[in-house]
Amino acid sequence: MRCEVVAVGSELLLGDVIDTNSAWLGQRLATAGIESYFRTIVGDNVERIVTALRSALERCDAVILCGGLGPTPDDVSRDAIAEVMGVPLRRDEELVERLRARFAERGREMAASNERQADVPVGATAIRQHQGTAPGLICPVGDKVVYAVPGVPHELEEMAERAVIPDLQRRAGPPSTIVSRALRTWGLAESALAERLAPRVEALDVAGNPTLAFLAGGVRGITVRVTARASTRAEAEKLLDAEEAALRRLLGPLVFGVDDQTMEDRVGALLEECGLSLGLAESMTGGLVASRVVEVEGSSRWFRGGVVSYDSQVKFGLLDVPEGPVVSEEAAAAMAQGACRVLEADVGLSVTGVAGPATQDGMPVGTAFFGLCLDGRTEVVHRQLPGDRSHIRQLAVISMLDLLRRRLLDRGSSG
């Protein structure tokens, strides 16, 4: 089974928007065991979309067309598909009603132009929208198929997972299953990690299944991806289990999560195991840690809240930080203790530092002090973080969460 992605949008061609959808689909197709050899990006133009679709259909069995399903006149994906199928468009009145209902739910009236979104090429099947307003399409072209999905990333991802990938896999027939597992690490550079894992890399180079790949994710850490091929999912999972165990023996606490598990997911799970609540005091990260923590499902069970003490006066007044330089070990310690007290939390985690662009209190850009108040003890860790303002902030977030993770792990194993 071969499937190509055709992404529609003049904004993609012009480089105003970076095409992240195709990368997401590329990964998703690969893990589903579906081959993809070409990808095309084309502007909002019927004739050119038709050209791109025809070229793609000559080379492969299925095409996923992303974008161009909106209500405005430059949304012409529906017209292009109808032309490739050699059929007219028909307005689906049931879809019109659904669209109208979605608008009504939000207390808005639907513009007449939105009715275009209910146009379906004759012979095609609509994919109902769960999010947004643009329905997707499954369009047979001879014994091949074109899927149309919206260009808005979260709508595309939801619809691809729910309708497109399963349909592709049904068509692909009996499986040789490819299953991947990602071990997410924090604390070593890619080259050091590769050295640590050299015994496994060599062993797997000989055996050929599973395979290992390193994926540098910047502020999300480095991922070691294990991919196994087998005739059933269960067999593939068995290969992955064995390899994961071997890798974990070499990596120890460097592994913080598996697959989509984030650092904050892991921290949340550990806090819940320990029965501890968390309070934050953030300066340089400006609420970024809190915003990540609340993304964890069930965080309300252990997250009390945070204080974003951006201005020094807020540190002195609300958190009882002693007057003096606020980018300092003393300030980080007082902030962590202040977070425990003000937010009535068991654990206080704090950060103060210099995100840049200018130095502060004589400290260079990238300086960070993390404070941790746990079991009545307060500890401060100093780090020098590289990069620009935004990168420094992101590094601070994952570094301080990693500090808390390691201390909770130590506590678990000693207690």
Q: Which of 41, 40, 89, 35 is nearest to 62 (CA)?
A: 35
φ/ψ (deg, to 5) at 358: -100, 155
Residues composing the chain? 415
Residue 184, interface with its own copies (CB under 8 A)? no
Contact call for residues 365 and 329 (beta carbons, < 8 A):
no
What residues form DSSP beta bridges with 182? 225
CB-count exposure of residue 6 (10 Å: 0-12, 13-18, 19+): buried
Q: Which CB, 152 or 163, lies closer to its own copies? A: 152
Binding of its own copies by 236 (CB under 8 A)? no
Q: 398: Cβ–Cβ under 8 A, 6 or more apart, which residues?
A: 186, 219, 220, 221, 263
**For its own copies, what does the binding mask look like between residues 246 and 275, x meaning CB under 8 A?**
------------------------------
List the x/- string, 348-377, binding to its own copies by CB under 8 A: -------x-x--------------------
Shortest Cβ 79–its own copies spacing (Å): 17
Task: Extract the tokens encoding 81.
Answer: 């598909």
In the window 123-142, what residues touch its own copies (CB under 8 A)? 131
Q: Which of 387, 406, 409, 411 binds its own copies (CB under 8 A)?
A: 387
Enter the DSSP assignment of 158: H
Asked if residue 207 binds its own copies (CB under 8 A), the reply is no
Least separation in angstroms between residue 123's CB and its own copies is 27
Pick from 285, 328, 350, 399 the residue near its own copies by CB under 8 A: 285
Subset of residues 37 to 96 that bind its own copies, contact rule: CB under 8 A: 37-45, 48, 51-52, 55, 59, 70-74
Query: In the range 303-332, which residues lie near its own copies by CB under 8 A?
Result: 303-311, 313-314, 317-318
For its own copies, the binding residue among 142, 173, 191, 362 (CB under 8 A) is: 191
Nearest one of 36, 34, 33 to 233, comparing CA atoms: 33
CA distance 124 to 134: 15
Number of residues counted as binding its own copies (CB under 8 A): 109
DSSP string, 89-154: EEE-HHHHHHHHHHHHHTT-PPPGGGGGGGEEETT-EEEPPSSSS--EEEEEETTEEEEEE-SSHH
Binding piece for its own copies, criterion CB under 8 A, among 30-38, 265-273, 320-328, 370-378: 30-38
Give φ, ψ of 261 to 5 degrees: -65, 130
What kind and span of H or E run contains 20?
helix 20-31
Q: Which is nearer to its own copies, 126 or 296 (CB)?
A: 296
> Which residue's CB is nearer to its own copies, number 87 or number 318?
318
Minimum distance from residue 344 beta carbon to its own copies (Å):
6
Residue closer to its own copies (CB basis): 45 or 378: 45
User: Residue 217 Cβ, how far from its own copies at the closest point, in Å?
Assistant: 9
Contact criterion met (CB below 8 Å) for 363 and 327: yes
User: Rounded distance, CA 322 to CA 316, Å?
Assistant: 6
Q: Which stretch binds its own copies (CB under 8 A): 19-27, 137-145, 231-239, 328-336?
A: 19-27
Q: What is the DSSP string of 284-342?
A: TTTTHHHHHHTTSTTGGGTEEEEEE--SHHHHHHHH-PPSS-SSSHHHHHHHHHHHHHH
Span interacting with its own copies, options 119-127, 296-304, 370-378, 407-415, rule CB under 8 A:
296-304
Among 289, 331, 363, 392, binds its own copies (CB under 8 A): 289
- The H-assigned helical ranges of 173-262 are 190-196, 198-207, 233-251
Mask for 147-176, x = binds its own copies (CB under 8 A): ----xxxx----------------------
Q: Which of 20, 176, 231, 359 binds its own copies (CB under 8 A)?
A: 20
Applying the rule CB under 8 A, the residues between 391 and 410 that interact with its own copies are 391, 393
Interface of this chain with its own copies, residues 94 to 123, rule: CB under 8 A: 105-108, 110-111, 113-114
